[in-house]
Homo-oligomer: A and B are copies of this chain.
């Protein structure tokens, strides 16, 4: 890879050659891929980009793949970025965009990391990929791997919503549903991966995956014609996504494509916010219980804490924790105002923005991009809890009139 110098441990600084099957540093630290920005500057221009297909591989000079590596089969990335003037007005912001990353092949941002995993597994000559996941990494890996003809072993906590499990089974993965926490799930996957030598798609072990995730911020920048907002809000669980998002922004800054770095807004659930607590208290992070309906970010022991905390701090970021009720309210608000249906963890970023507006931290001079990280169809049970049930009647106009009257619905 001419664009990549090496991988470097974020903890001890040790340097590794960027081979396709890299895992953690021997000290236990996470590795970071270090690029040759001079090479990239000489080889990538905005004009070149503009002519390319609309998927994540358009940014290949900024990605840790061999020049000969083929794009993966599913069309990942280039999700829509909607400007939302009505929601901006409701919240009291100058300008707001919603990036609907639920519009990906398996309906979450995790497709970006999983497509990268498939690309790197192919480079490594692997035929089997494994991961543990709260659900979305799993279903995206299963889908992207199936399309590429690779086999998958997937470990999910038994709390994973049915939609995600249905995806896994349909994509033909061997699925192990672990009765326990995400941490228990992760540990079992780790042992199995060690035993059988599968290609490892655990995002905090495989340093390439957050490089896939960073394409979300590369896209946001390009979709905004390289004019960056003041803030970028995103939900945080394991920490890989916010770390990747920041990496993408720093890459673009380093090659001169953008001249401003937005501040990150790290949004976690009140019931599980070890990273935000660490920032707020300016201390190390400590494990927490996993008490939130936002299953994708219910991560009590974040596996990528180092990179995530570094990203939030470097960006002079803001942290905000939201209750499950606030998450459900944001889900409904996004649906009603924007026609965007996010899963609970997916809308947690928007819930955080809303809360910061109410607290007066954000206001009428601020421009914000809020990333919705997963589709609400993945977790229908919680959506119905949030939004209620329909009017149910036989086919009869009198009963319809009565139902409207009972519910106080005045027809326009």
Contacts and interface: CB of A to CB of B under 8 A. Distances in A.
Interface string A152-179: 0100101000110111111110111111
A345 to B, nearest CB: 15
A42 interface: no
B409 A341 contact: no
Contact of A335 (B73, B172, B377): B172
A411 interface: yes
A162 B400 contact: no
Given A384-B169, A412-B128, A188 B103 contact: no
Q: Using C-beta atoms within 8 Å of the partner chain, give the interface range for chain A.
A: 35 or more
A292 interface: no
A170 B329 CA distance: 10
Interface string A321-354: 0000000000110011111110000000000000
A174 B177 CA distance: 37
Name which of A175, A185, A195, A336 has the most chain B CB atoms within 10 A of its CB.
Answer: A336
A147 interface: yes
Given A171-B335, A339-B74, A149 B86 contact: yes
A394 interface: yes
Nearest to A146: B339
A73 B83 CA distance: 9
How many identical chains are in the complex?
2
Contacts of A391: 174-177
A317 interface: no
Contacts of A59: none
A400 B176 contact: yes
Contacts of A335: 143, 146, 167, 170-172
A317 to B, nearest CB: 29
A392 B396 CA distance: 46
A397 interface: yes
13 contacts: A73-B82, A73-B339, A80-B105, A105-B339, A128-B412, A145-B339, A167-B377, A176-B400, A177-B390, A177-B392, A178-B394, A192-B397, A195-B397
Interface of A: 54, 73-75, 80, 82, 86, 100, 103, 105-107, 127-128, 142-149, 151, 153, 156, 158, 162-163, 165-172, 174-180, 184-185, 187-188, 191-192, 195-196, 331-332, 335-341, 375-378, 380-381, 383-384, 386-397, 400, 403, 409, 411-412
**Which 6 A-B pairs have CB atoms at the shortest separation, nearest pair first?**
A147-B339, A172-B336, A170-B335, A175-B390, A169-B387, A377-B377
